[in-house]
Amino acid sequence: MKRPFVYLLISFALLISFSFSRVPKEKVNWISFAEMEKSYAQNPKPIIIDLYTDWCGWCKVMDKNTYGNAKVAAYINEHYYAVKYNAESTDSVWFNKIKYGFNSALKTNELALLLSRGDRSYPNTIFLEKIDASPAPLSGYMKPKEMEAPLRYFVEKKEGETFVAFNQKMKASF
């Protein structure tokens, strides 16, 4: 009589422990500009840059909800080099063989100003089709569903296809 009860108790404990164990979520593999350039030289692919600031509340929400989304993270990791960069960093940074410093008058790093085309609103997501391409900045918080079209556009578009045309035919999956 004791034995079945013990087995039942152990089975129940195991069931409870597996119910509360979390499956690890895929996370975006953020790298530095230096790491990105080294990897890009060997295997070119599009680049996504998350410009953020320490004080930006929406940046933190986007980190959690958008970049923390398993489908978004998986797509970025497979198709992009992902760089997270503090736009207010006072450290000099090299990008595409040019050294950028801190602009004390604007309290912003010059590279962030270049990539965002001077837009100092955050979060600011920058897409680069190639390392030397003109930046395509999208400022503001984006939900995973809002991030899907631009993410896929820079990877899947046909030669000469506009974003509007791509977006009209794209079947959402995020």
pLDDT in tens, 39-75: 999 999 999 999 999 999 999 999 999 999 999 999 9
- Total domain count for the chain? 1
Q: Tell me if 41 is assigned to some domain.
A: yes
CA-closest candidate to residue 148, choices 125, 131, 130: 125
Q: Distance between CA 95 and CA 115 in Å, rounded?
A: 11
Domain interval for residue 160? 22-169
Is the N-terminal amide bond of 144 cis, ω within 30° of 0? no
Question: Regarding predicted confidence, which is higher, 8 or 35?
Answer: 35
Is residue 103, in this structure, part of any structural domain at all? yes
User: What pLDDT is attached to residue 19?
Assistant: 47
The verdict on residue 48 lying in a domain is: yes
| Range 23-42 average pLDDT | 91
Q: What is the mean pLDDT of residues 150-156?
A: 97
Is 17 part of any domain? Answer: no
Q: List phi, psi (to 5°) of 48.
A: -120, 135
pLDDT of residue 1: 53
In a domain, 80, yes or no: yes
What is the DSSP-derived secondary structure letter of residue 129?
S
Does residue 12 form part of some domain? no
Whole-number Cα distances in Å, 4 to 8, 46, 87: 6, 59, 63
Q: Count other C-beta atoms under 10 Å from residue 51's C-beta.
A: 29
Q: Is the pLDDT of residue 129 over 60?
A: yes
pLDDT at 174 over 90: no
- Whether residue 6 lies inside any domain: the answer is no
In a domain, 140, yes or no: yes
Q: How far apart are CA 111 and CA 38, in angstroms?
A: 18
What's the predicted TM-score (pTM) here? Answer: 0.84
Could you tell me the CATH number of the domain that includes residue 72? 3.40.30.10
pLDDT-based confidence at 26, cuts 50/70/90?
A: confident
- Checking if the pLDDT of 9 tops 50, the result is no
Q: For residues 160 and 36, give the distance between their C-alpha atoms in angstroms, rounded to a whole number.
A: 26
List the structure tokens of 38: 């080294």
∠ CA 164-40-80 to the nearest 5 degrees?
40
